[in-house]
Structure 1
Amino acid sequence: MKTVTVNIVTPDGSVYDSEVTMVIAKTTSGEIGVLAGHIPMVAPLTIGSVKLKKADGTTDVAAVSGGFIEVRPEKISILAPSAEVASSIDIARAKEALARAEGRLQKKQDDIDFTRAELSLKRAMNRINVHEGNI
C-alpha cells in the first residue's frame, strides 16, 4: 500500500513526522480521510483527534487544538496551535486543566470569558480522550 509523509507542526516545533497510509482528521466541515496521492487541498481543523494509520497496521493518534491540514500528493502537513501524540500527553495536567475549565464555567461572574473557558474545556477533554483511547 502506498504511503505518504505526515508532519504535525506547532509553534514549538515538530510533533510528528512519519510515513502513514491514511490520515483521518476532523475538519470544520466534517471528518475526512486522506490517502497517498490525494489531490491538493487545505482545510481548517477543529479541536479533535487525528488518526494516523501506518503500513504495519498500527495507528498513532494525536490531539490537535484546531489549525489546518494541507494535503499534497506526496506530503500532508498539519499546522496546529498545539498538538500532542497520545503517548506524550501528561494526563494529570490535562485533568487539572479540565477541572479549572469546569470551575470557570460554573461561576456565574461577569468577568469570566465563557467562550475561552469552553474552548479550554474542549481542549482538555480532547487530550484526555486521545490519551485514554476514547476517540
Structure 2
Amino acid sequence: MATMQVEVVSTEQLIYSGEAEFLVAPAAEGEIGVYPRHVPLLTRIKPGVLRLTVPGSKDEVLVAVSGGMMEVQPTLVTVLADTAIRGEDLDEARANEAKRVAEETIRKSGDDMDTAKAQAALAVAIAQLKTLDYLRKRVR
C-alpha cells in the first residue's frame, strides 16, 4: 500500500514523524480523510483527534490537537498544531480539571488576555477529552 510522510509538530516539540497509509484530521469544516497522493490543500484544524493508520501496525496513532493548520501535499502532510499530545500520554483526570479551571476562568475574567488564555487552555482540554472518548469507544 502507498504511504505518505506525516509530520505533526506542536509549538513545543515534534509529536510524530513517520509514514502513514491514511490520516483523519478534525478540519475546520469537518473531519477530513487523507490518503497518499491527495490533492494539495491547506486547512485550519480545530480541537479534536488526529488519527493515523501506520504501516505494519493494527493500532492507530492518536494525537489530541487543540487547533492549528494542516498542509497536504501528494507525499507529505504537515500538521502545525497549537498544542498536541499523543494518545498514550493523556491523563483524563488532569484534562477534566484543566477544563473545569478554564471554564471557571472564562466566567470570572474581565481581562481579554486572561480570557484568551483560558479559551486556549479549554481547547486543549477538550481535544484531550475527545481523544480519550475516542479511545474508549475503540476499545469496546
TM-score between both structures, scaled by the size of structure 2 = 0.81
More strand by share: 1
Letter in 2 for 1:98: K
CA RMSD of aligned residues (A): 2.3
5+ residue gaps, structure 2: none
Corresponding residue for residue 100 of structure 1: 101
More helix by share: 2
Instruction: Give per-residue Cα distances to partners, 1:94-133, cap 9 Å, x unaligned.
Output: 22211202323454x6457656544433321221231342
Q: Measured at CA, do residues 134 and 66 of structure 1 come closer, stay the same or move farther in structure 2, by a change above 3 Å?
A: farther
Letter in 2 for 1:70: E
Corresponding residue for residue 124 of structure 1: 125
Aligned residues with identical type, % of pairs? 31
Shift of 1:93: 2.8
Shift of 1:82: 1.0
* Mapping for residues 1-135 of structure 1, pairs under 5 Å: 1-55=1-55, 56-107=57-108, 110-111=110-111, 117-132=118-133, 133=135
**Cα distance in structure 1, aligned partners of 2:47 and 2:120:** 9
Instruction: Give per-residue Cα distances to partners, 1:12-49, cap 9 Å, x unaligned.
Output: 22111121111101111221100011122111111111
Letter in 2 for 1:44: R
5+ residue gaps, structure 1: none
Q: Measured at CA, do residues 117 and 11 of structure 1 come closer, stay the same or move farther in structure 2, by a change above 3 Å?
A: closer
SS in 1 for 2:67: strand
Kept in 2: contact 1:87–1:131 (CA 8 A) = no
**Cα distance in structure 1, aligned partners of 2:83 and 2:122:** 15
Q: Measured at CA, do residues 114 and 134 of structure 1 come closer, stay the same or move farther in structure 2, by a change above 3 Å?
A: farther
SS in 1 for 2:39: coil
Q: Measured at CA, do residues 111 and 40 of structure 1 come closer, stay the same or move farther in structure 2, by a change above 3 Å?
A: closer
**Cα distance in structure 2, aligned partners of 1:2 and 1:10:** 26
**Equivalent pairs, count:** 134
Letter in 1 for 2:8: I
**Cα distance in structure 2, aligned partners of 1:122 and 1:82:** 9
